[in-house]
Amino acid sequence: MASNCSHDCSSCGEGGCSSRKKESLIKKPHQMSDIKKVIAVVSGKGGVGKSMTCALLAAAAQNSGKVTAVMDADITGPSIPRMFGTDKRAMGSDNGILPVVSEGGVQIMSMNVLLENEAEPVVWRGSLISGTVLQFWTDVIWTGVDIMFIDMPPGTGDVPLTVFQSIPIDGIVVVTTPQDLVGMIVQKAVNMAQMMNIPILGIVENMSYIKCPDCGRKIPVFGESKVDAIAMEYGIPNVAKLPIDRDLTVAADGGKIEEVEDNPLNEFLSKILKKIKLK
Ligand code: ADP
């Protein structure tokens, strides 16, 4: 790589550059944006609690004093604005698009804050969806962000691939449930992360158990957890297990995710912050 590398391969005459292939697809954020770290929250399929995890992580980060943002890349199933209780619409300025800001101060961009009617379905082809997600990165002005969480679309299709190739992601959090084929999903995530040279920062097993309201015993409704064994197999030290908890549903559906008491992902997040060296 040239010593004065601008990471803009399109205008660089340098031949035989070792970083050329990898960096040529990375897009620069808006020139007025300032984003220190980016973490993608992924899952093998929909409905496992990926958005819930993403929202809890963002709430935990914001509450710990980090300037936090959420980019809702789940264009066809956006649920982040509702979890943060905002029905504001994004505003444009001469310079770019401004994210909406939750009551607790989290900067949010989502398809739902751009649609006139949030019940409108987005019936688009993959390339258009990927383009929109990339615009959330290139055209939105993210201000002084310490940590951004990206709520990825489920699976390993076109859109996640484009996002991974185009946005400089510092790490991935994988969300699964016990009834999911955890091993296979983690393996896919590990393979994809290795291909992209991105570390896996932790696994969240959502809906891991319910707590008996009388005796407090943990009941593994979907069978015994396998996530610890799998995490060990792939050398991922950071694992969190979330119960099925009515309070979480009520908070998420009622737009009060920032008010969850004793956020169950606080400890998981602080290990991530250490790992990505964001203190
Ligand atoms: P995904 O993003 O994977 O599609 P969501 O995060 O939107 O899934 O979760 C799907 C639904 O399940 C939402 O209504 C959410 O409130 C609920 N949910 C997710 N995790 C939990 C949990 N641990 N306890 C209770 N409800 C949950």
Of the two residues 158 and 97, the one the predictor is more confident about is 97
Mean pLDDT of the chain: 88
Is pTM, for the whole model, over 0.85? yes
The whole-angstrom separation of Cα 126 and Cα 92 is 25
Tokens describing residue 138: 């290139």
Tokens describing residue 69: 């943002």
The whole-angstrom separation of Cα 30 and Cα 117 is 27
* Lowest pLDDT segment from 49-53, 78-82, 191-195, 263-267: 191-195
Residue 250: domain span? 26-275
Indicate whether residue 245 lines ligand 1 (CB < 6 A): yes
96 lies in some domain: yes
38 neighbors 54 (Cβ within 8 angstroms):
no
Indicate whether residue 207 lines ligand 1 (CB < 6 A): yes
18 lies in some domain: no
CATH number at residue 263: 3.40.50.300
Indicate whether residue 100 lines ligand 1 (CB < 6 A): no
Note the pLDDT tens digit of each residue in 70-122: 999 998 888 999 999 999 999 998 899 999 999 999 999 999 998 877 777 77
180 neighbors 189 (Cβ within 8 angstroms):
no
Distance from Cα 258 to the centre of ligand 1, integer Å: 15
Indicate whether residue 249 lines ligand 1 (CB < 6 A): yes
Distance from Cα 47 to the centre of ligand 1, integer Å: 6
Note the pLDDT tens digit of each residue in 14-38: 655 555 455 568 999 999 999 999 9
10 lies in some domain: no
Indicate whether residue 48 lines ligand 1 (CB < 6 A): yes
37 lies in some domain: yes
Ligand 1, closest atom to CA 207? 23
> Average pLDDT, stretch 46-63?
96
| Structure confidence at residue 206 (pLDDT) | 94
- Indicate whether 2 pLDDT > 60: no
- Indicate whether 49 pLDDT > 60: yes
How far is residue 196 from each of residues 9, 164, 241, 248, measured CA to CA in Å? 18, 7, 27, 33
46 lies in some domain: yes
Percent of all residues in the chain with a pLDDT value above 70, rounded to a whole number? 90
- Dihedral angle, C-alpha 179, 182, 188, 194, nearest 10 °: 150
| Structure confidence at residue 14 (pLDDT) | 60
> Average pLDDT, stretch 254-268?
96
| Structure confidence at residue 240 (pLDDT) | 97
13 lies in some domain: no
Residue with the smallest CA separation from ligand 1 atom 5 is 49
Of the two residues 190 and 261, the one the predictor is more confident about is 261
123 lies in some domain: yes
| Structure confidence at residue 28 (pLDDT) | 95
Distance of CA 143 to the CA centre of its chain: 18
Distance from Cα 228 to the centre of ligand 1, integer Å: 21
Indicate whether residue 102 lines ligand 1 (CB < 6 A): no
Note the pLDDT tens digit of each residue in 219-249: 998 888 888 988 898 888 899 999 999 999 9
| Structure confidence at residue 96 (pLDDT) | 92
The whole-angstrom separation of Cα 19 and Cα 8 is 11
Indicate whether residue 95 lines ligand 1 (CB < 6 A): no
| Structure confidence at residue 24 (pLDDT) | 66
Percent of all residues in the chain with a pLDDT value above 90, rounded to a whole number? 59
Label residue 11 by pLDDT band (50, 70, 90). Answer: low
| Structure confidence at residue 7 (pLDDT) | 60
Number of domains forming the structure of the chain: 1
47 lies in some domain: yes
